[in-house]
């Protein structure tokens, strides 16, 4: 069906997932990401990305929504 991968944000890439929620036809991923000035240990950014199943049956990421 697809693979959920961390998204790219202003200043860096997501470093991991805080949670994944599955629902019919979609996956919601809560991500943490490093801002430019964050130390390696401690990402300060948070975002939510919703992935939907397309007509081809594959997952497609929507626009990430920065939440923190």
In a domain, 20, yes or no: yes
In a domain, 3, yes or no: no
In a domain, 2, yes or no: no
- In contact, 49 and 7? CB cutoff 8 Å: yes
Q: How many domains does the chain have?
A: 1
What lies within 8 Å, CB to CB, of 65 at 6+ separation is 47, 48, 49
pTM, two decimal places:
0.76
Q: Using one digit for the tens of pLDDT, what is the confidence trace for 2-21?
A: 677 776 666 666 678 899 99
Tokens encoding 9: 């944000």
Which range of residues forms the domain containing residue 25?
8-66
In a domain, 14, yes or no: yes
CA pair distance 27, 9, nearest whole angstrom: 19
In a domain, 1, yes or no: no
In a domain, 31, yes or no: yes
Q: Using one digit for the tens of pLDDT, what is the confidence trace for 40-53?
A: 888 888 989 999 99
């Amino acid at each position: 069906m697809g693979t959920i991968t961390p998204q790219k944000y202003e200043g860096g890439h997501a470093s991991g997932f805080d949670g994944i929620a599955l629902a019919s036809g979609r996956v919601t991923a809560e991500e943490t990401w490093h801002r430019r000035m964050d130390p390696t240990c401690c990402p300060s950014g948070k975002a939510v990305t919703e992935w939907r199943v397309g007509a081809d049956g594959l997952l497609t990421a929507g626009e990430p929504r920065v939440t923190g």
